[in-house]
Amino acid sequence: MIAGFQLTKEFIQFKNKVNSWEESIIEAAMPLLEKEYINKEYVEAMIDSVNKYGPYIIIAPQIALPHARPDRGAKKAGFSIMKLEEPVAFSHEEEHKVKLLIVLSCEDDSTHIEILQGIVEILSDEEKKKSILLAETAESVLEIFS
């Protein structure tokens, strides 16, 4: 459990590929949108941020952490995960190809920091990071995040 949020299978997706980085954010955010953790404005704000600031959401090789300001449509704290078989390019640079998107939803700044810390703690463990990138089932991802 990270910041009071219990990751479950409904928040984890596996896809072969997407057509664009924008589509990757939309698809990766879908579980949060469907469960009303965020609204459509939040999804648009995440895309707008990348358009404005570039691929700053790429926090490690192959891993992106799309998010937006809480006041842009976040309703509850949580996150969703989408793993792609084929990487999606956020720019023409090789280091901006992403296979794992973790979409954050935080209703305030302190929750944002708590969730971010929990995720970074997991991703800073090289074995766990490798396991997530190789995972083929929601159960295996849940095991890493539990």
How much is the pLDDT for 83? 98
Residue 4 forms part of a structural domain: no
Query: What length does the chain have?
Result: 146
Residue 2 forms part of a structural domain: no
Give per-residue pLDDT as tens, 113-132. Answer: 888 889 999 999 999 999 99
Residue 1 forms part of a structural domain: no
Residue 72 forms part of a structural domain: yes
pTM: 0.94
Give per-residue pLDDT as tens, 69-80. Answer: 999 999 999 999
Residue 3 forms part of a structural domain: no
User: How many Å separate Cα 91 from the centre of its chain?
Assistant: 18
Which residue among 67, 92, 96, 112 is the active-site one? 67
Question: Quick check: is 67 catalytic?
Answer: yes
Residue 141 forms part of a structural domain: yes
DSSP, res 58: E
pLDDT at 27 over 80: yes
Count: domains in the chain: 1
DSSP, res 136: -
The strand pairing partners of 5, in sequence order, are 2
For residue 130, the domain's CATH number is: 3.40.930.10
How much is the pLDDT for 107? 86
Over residues 29-48, the mean pLDDT reads 97
Boundaries of domain holding 96:
9-145
Over residues 58-77, the mean pLDDT reads 94
